[in-house]
């Protein structure tokens, strides 16, 4: 697992070992970042179920102004911290050791890009989305990674699915404001 492009391009990233860990595969990550590449520079990003932090790190490498990495596992955040240091990106990052729901209930920050890749079939996307949409900027995008067969809500607050893409058994679902529709 490596950073694809930007100032940390090619840097290898650490990840936790074990059956519960499922890092985003390279071709899904490449497609995701290709689809939002022009939205990243200067943005504020939340990597809500950070794991190794590879999604938020990719944003920072591509010019995001700031990234907040949220994970309820201290071990995961230790990996994120190590990866940030390897890539010399720690000054633009905030690490939060909390479950996603508690963090979203107390957070006052506004985000341009939200990346959600929780453990599959955990129901965490559906629980987090209603709180998350309240924290998003006007032209924001929320991107969720889930198993292809998982049906996510069509609409959450004033955000609705604008597209989804299938990559093998994985699906990326993009939410944007529906602008009154």
pLDDT tops 60 at residue 65? yes
Q: Which residue has the higher pLDDT, 19 or 44?
A: 44
pLDDT for 120 equals 79
Q: What percent of the chain has pLDDT over 90?
A: 83
Fold of 41-109+117-177: Rossmann fold (3.40.50)
Checking if the pLDDT of 141 tops 60, the result is: yes
Calpha distance 132→103 (Å, rounded) = 10
* 21 pLDDT more than 60: no
- Per-residue confidence (pLDDT) for residue 178, from 0 to 100: 81
pLDDT of res. 137: 97
Q: What is the mean pLDDT of residues 157-163?
A: 96
Tokens encoding 59: 């944003």
Find all residues with CB under 8 Å of 126, minimum gap 6, and list them: 152, 153
Give the burial class of 170: count Cβ atoms within 10 A of its Cβ; 0-12 exposed, 13-18 middle, 19 or more buried: buried
pLDDT of residue 50: 94
* pLDDT greater at residue 21 or residue 76: 76
Q: Is 132 helix (H, G, I), strand (E, B) or coil?
A: helix
- For 2-23, what is the mean pLDDT? 81
List pLDDT tens digits, range 92-127: 999 999 999 999 999 999 999 999 999 877 889 999
If you count them, how many residues does the chain have?
181
Where in the chain are the domains? 41-109+117-177
Q: Average pLDDT for residues 136-140, to the nearest whole number?
A: 97
**Whether pLDDT at 23 is above 80:** no
**Closest of 20, 11, 26 to residue 49, by C-alpha:** 20
What pLDDT sits at residue 19? 43
Q: What are phi and psi of 54, to 5 degrees?
A: -60, -35
Q: What is the pTM of this model?
A: 0.94
């Amino acid at each position: 697992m490596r950073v694809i492009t930007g100032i940390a391009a090619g840097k290898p990233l650490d990840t936790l070992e074990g059956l519960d860990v499922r890092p985003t595969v390279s071709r899904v990550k490449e497609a995701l970042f290709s689809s939002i590449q022009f939205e990243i520079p200067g943005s504020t990003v939340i990597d809500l179920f950070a794991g190794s932090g590879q999604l938020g790190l990719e944003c920072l490498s591509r010019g995001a102004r700031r990234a907040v990495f949220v994970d309820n596992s201290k071990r995961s955040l230790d990996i994120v911290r190590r990866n940030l240091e390897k890539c010399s990106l720690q000054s633009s990052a905030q690490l939060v050791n909390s479950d996603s729901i508690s963090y979203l209930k107390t957070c006052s920050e506004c985000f341009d890009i939200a990346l959600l890749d929780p453990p599959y079939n955990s129901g965490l996307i559906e629980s987090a989305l209603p709180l998350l949409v309240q924290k998003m900027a006007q032209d924001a995008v929320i991107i969720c990674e889930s198993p292809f067969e998982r049906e996510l809500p069509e609409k959450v607050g004033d955000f609705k699915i604008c597209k989804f893409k299938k990559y093998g058994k994985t699906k990326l679902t993009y939410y944007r404001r529906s602008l009154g529709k």
